[in-house]
Amino acid sequence: MEFFISQMKIVIGLVIRMTTFVLTLLAFLPVFCTTHVLSNKHDSLYVNITILQSATAQGAVCLDGSPPAYHLDRGYGTGLRSWIIYLDGGSWCESIPDCLDRSTTSLGSSNHMKQRGFFAGILHNTSKQNPEFHNWNRVRVKYCDGSSFTGDVEQVHSENKLYFRGARIFKAIMEDLWRKGMKSAENAILSGTSAGGLATILNCDKFKCLLPESAKVKCVADAAFFINSKTIYGTSYIQEMYRKIVNLHGSTKNLPSACTSVMEPSLINNTLVPLFLDPQHAWTDCINNISRCTSSQLIIIQAFGVKFLKTFNKLPSCCTRGYFLTSCYSHGDLRFPTYWFSASSPRLLNKTIAEAVADWYFERAGEIKNRRMGTNFLFFFVYLLNFVTTESSLVNLTILQTAVAKGAVCLDGSPPAYHLDRGSGTGVNNWVISVEGGGWCQNVAQCLLRKNSKYGSSAKMENQIFFSGMLKFYNWNRVFVRYCDGGSFTGDVEAIDPGTGLHYRGARIFKAIMKELLAQGMNKSENAILSGCSAGGMTTILHCDNFRILLPNSVKVKCFSDAGYFIDNEDISGELFIQQFYNDVVTLHGSVKNLPPSCTSKLKPGLCFFPQNVAQQIQTPLFIINSAYDGWQVRNILVPRGTDPKGFRLNFLKALEGLGPSSTRGYYINSCFAHCQTQKQASWFGPNSPRLFNKTIAEAVGDWVLEINQFRQIDCPYPCDKTCG
């Protein structure tokens, strides 16, 4: 393998050696990987179904309106207070016809489910087949909603009587199991395969919240790491499919705020080669039998596998993560003995999946593999088990009800909100405020769309979010201000739109939350930072001096904006699209009274939304973090399809001169195609983070905040920076 890797620099050698290696590997696949077929031996058991009739009162029903169901096999002995919950898989339905088809099967109706469920593998009840978990309470949750238990649409589809209620099903079944003894659990595992594995990842933290704090809770996702990969013709088929699923099922409110769309390689026939792209079936034989692939097809598959592995770079490298990667060309299932634990099971480092999961769950000394197992399989087809556990960085949402009396409300009239994680030790009197981003709405139609999402209503916001990136800033008090006004906290229109009920009150929200934080102890702060990303970064620039005024003179106040330096630039057709867009935003939201007078007295109000026109007048120390090839701006301001974006960089750097020469200014301008770099741990501070003059963003900001030095650096033009990743 080392020799193979060393030859990769030679393209011809790469092609020849990768093909040879794969074909050689395939000759040995039967030794390591077995086809998962059911054995005739008595190595499994069948468990009666439980139809949860009481769930219908909560609207927790399958696609056809029938009650949800599960199978429960009680634990015994030392396993009485330990639980394994296994979520069935079965793909998704993305359209009404798809869901109608499912509603007449066991994947959409409990009326069509078998009365007895097959229990084997991770659900088996003998130590021979399941040595570590055989005497636990084992539950198999049936899948009948078509959205990985994320959907929640109140209205029933009038014509076809379809119900999209997956999230309610998950909640109802977990609550029923809680009453049946899970409330006293000492150990608990949430697991699943394929669509059930994705449900495991998406519901992992919710599952943790349902259990006692003393319980050891972990999640095991099998065949669920779905990557956002293009087809062989460059189209984003799988991305579009997931978009349709989320829209149809109303899944947005139940998805994590920082979710990643990923896909697992055994579904390569759906991601890489959808059926309609292969009319001559040139790929069908290859996908169904990899030994029939041509050398060029194998190379394409190899590239998919490499991209799949690269997605792991975005995952936290910590002891709560585990990976089991094999070269088996299969779609595994933890319920099958030959896959889970048997003489012919796949092995890595001489461990079966059952043994690896047990070592990881029980945190056995010397056995926990806090690294990627099987990295020698880098250049051929891989298979994933992603073991996810919860972390302590989840922070609760605070709804500011008192703000309503001041008219400080979201677009829909609901109260504003924020998340606060208290500081400790030397950071008790230091505060960092991060303002959420999320674009803008320039007209009533756009604001109506936002009104029904977390960007326009606190009723749609997640109750908990992860704090990462700059929100791990030392041991300071850290606040994440939710964005629900659509005008970068500048709007203030007294009248409520009579036809739509829309409120434009962003400036009032900013003031109300800041006053609340002052009452929470920020009035005694020694250091305070206002920050934000994208639209939140623009908020930081526009409100920097306002933030300074709210605090005592003794407080050291600074602001830094990430990806918030939006420039006034023509698009490739010569039109001033972004200028007209911001003018519409300012007009609709009544923002002019909250924009810097030093700008509005000279320029049209819409132009004062551009940082280049206001930054020079800002009195408070300001630090700019941006890419000179800002991903959002290149796509939305320049519209560069087929064009060279280097001209945008020159215009961006020219606009940056608007900051002025003040010594209180700092900036970190790299050449990565990125948008927002402070909220992700990987780009904020990590071994693979972007660097300027050998400084990560975190180090540069730290030096500037603590006044170790003035950081004012601009990267060389693309593609010279090799640290962008």
What tokens does 17 get? 């050696």
Confidence of residue 709 (pLDDT cuts 50, 70, 90): confident
User: What confidence score (pLDDT) does residue 382 get?
Assistant: 26
Position 478 scores a pLDDT of: 93
With pLDDT > 70 as the criterion, what percentage of the chain qualifies?
A: 67
Please, is 166 exposed, middle or buried when counting C-beta atoms within 10 Å of its C-beta (0-12, 13-18, 19+)? buried
> Is the pLDDT assigned to residue 470 strictly greater than 80?
no
What's the rounded Cα separation, in Å, for the pair 587 and 602? 17
Per-residue pLDDT tens digits for 689-701: 888 888 888 788 7
Q: Which of 572, 561, 557 is nearest to 612 (CA)?
A: 561
Residue 59's pLDDT is: 96
Q: Beta strands 527-533 and 430-435: pairing type?
A: parallel
For residue 686, name the pLDDT band (cuts at 50, 70, 90).
confident
Note the pLDDT of residue 682: 72
Lowest mean pLDDT, pick from 157-166, 425-434, 524-533: 157-166
pLDDT score at 310:
56
**Which of 212-221, 321-330, 693-702: highest mean pLDDT?**
212-221
CA distance 487 to 496: 16
- Among 140-144, 331-335, 413-417, where is mean pLDDT lowest? 331-335
Q: How far apart are CA 458 and CA 451, in angstroms?
A: 10
Q: With 0-12 CB in 10 A as exposed, 13-18 as middle and 19+ as buried, what is 629?
A: buried
Percentage of the chain with pLDDT > 90?
39
630 part of the active site: yes
Which entry of 543, 675, 683, 715 is annotated as an active-site residue?
Answer: 675
152 is catalytic: no
What is the 3-state secondary structure of 601-640? CCCCHHHHHCHHHCHHHCCCCEEEEEECCCHHHHHHHHCC
Among the options 359, 412, 630, 715, which is catalytic? Answer: 630
Report the candidate in 435, 697, 677, 411 with the shortest Cα–Cα distance to residue 544. 435
Assess whether pLDDT exceeds 80 at residue 586: yes
More confident position, 312 or 154 = 154
Is 529 strand, coil or helix?
A: strand
pLDDT at residue 102 is higher than 90:
yes
| Contact criterion met (CB below 8 Å) for 51 and 70 | no
Of these residues, 82, 109, 345, 534, which one is catalytic? 534
Spatial separation of the C-alpha atoms in residues 691 and 699, rounded to whole Å: 9
DSSP per-residue letters across 652-702: HHHHHGGG-S-TTEEEEEE--S-S--SSSHHHHSSTT---BTTB-HHHHHH
pLDDT score recorded for residue 655: 73
Q: What's the token pair of residue 595?
A: 């924009």
pLDDT at 299: 52
Q: What is the mean pLDDT of residues 313-338?
A: 51
Predicted pLDDT at 226: 59
The answer to whether the beta carbons of residues 332 and 223 sit under 8 Å apart is: yes
Per-residue pLDDT, averaged over 87-94, amounts to 91
- Which one is predicted more confidently, 646 or 191? 191
For residue range 485-514, what is the model confidence (pLDDT) as tens digits? Answer: 999 999 999 999 889 999 999 999 999 999
pLDDT score, position 37: 34
Q: What's the rounded Cα separation, in Å, for the pair 504 and 495?
A: 9
- State phi, psi for 711 to the nearest 5 degrees: -100, 110
- What pLDDT shows up at residue 455? 96
Q: What are phi and psi of 417, to 5 degrees?
A: -155, 160
Show the 3-state SS of 285-305: HHHHCHHHCCHHHHHHHHHHH
Pairing of strands 464-466, 556-562: unpaired
Bridging pattern class, strands 464-466 and 394-399: antiparallel
Q: Is residue 302 scored above 90 in pLDDT?
A: no
pTM: 0.44
The answer, yes or no, to whether residue 190 has pLDDT greater than 50, is yes
**Cα of 432 vs its chain's centroid, Å:** 23
In this predicted structure, the answer to whether residue 346 has a pLDDT above a threshold of 90 is no
Please tell me which residue, 568 or 651, carries the higher pLDDT value.
568
Establish whether 675 is a catalytic residue. Answer: yes
The chain-wide mean pLDDT, for the chain, equals 76
- For residue 45, list its beta bridge partners: 119
What is the chain's length?
Answer: 725
Three-point CA angle 510, 512, 516, nearest 5°: 115
| Dihedral, CA of residue 463, residue 466, residue 469 and residue 473, to nearest 10 | 80
User: Of 93, 79, 85, nearest to 204 (Cα)?
Assistant: 85
Tell me the C-alpha to C-alpha distance, in Å, between residue 19 and each of 284, 291, 297, 318, 360.
Answer: 19, 11, 10, 34, 35
Task: List, for residues 249-294, the tens digit of each pLDDT value.
Answer: 998 888 765 443 333 323 333 434 343 334 455 555 655 565 666 6
φ, ψ of residue 87 in degrees (nearest 5): -95, 120
Question: Using alpha carbons only, how large is the chain's radius of gyration in Å?
Answer: 27
Give Dmax (Cα) for the chain. 85
